[in-house]
Structure 1
Amino acid sequence: MLTYIKESVEELRNNVTWPTRAEASNLMVVVAVFTILFALATWGVDELFSKAVKFYFDKVIN
């Protein structure tokens, strides 16, 4: 296990290409925008199904 951790740290130091601060900021904005859009889409579908279930129980069952 210790060897694995040492090799992982070594790989992070030498073989990983880290993005610049500007690239990381841009990617963070992209992730935030898509997260908000996905949350709004999920909310919209939830509202749609909620209204459909309410309609079903109000009109179809009664």
Structure 2
Amino acid sequence: MVNYIKESYNELKNHVTWTPWAEAQRLTVIVAVFSIVLALVVWGVDSVFSKVIAYYFDLIK
């Protein structure tokens, strides 16, 4: 287990190419905006379907 941790640390420190900080921030903003837009789209579709189903059940009463 200790050897695994040492090798993992060495791999992360010496062999992984890290994204520059500015690019990581830019990509984080893109993901956040996309997530908000997707959440709003899902909320809108859910609202429409909810009203359609409510209308349908009102019709069959």
TM-score class, shorter: 0.7 to 0.9
Identity of aligned residues (%): 57
Taking the TM superposition and a 5 Å limit, the aligned residue runs for 1:1-62 are 1-59=1-59, 61-62=60-61
Q: Which residue identity lines up with residue 55 of structure 1 in the other structure?
A: Y
Give runs of ≥4 in structure 1 deviating > 3 Å: none
TM-score by length of 2: 0.84
**d(CA) in 2 for partners of 1:36 and 1:11?**
35
RMSD over aligned CA atoms reads: 1.2
**d(CA) in 1 for partners of 2:2 and 2:45?**
48
TM-score by length of 1: 0.83
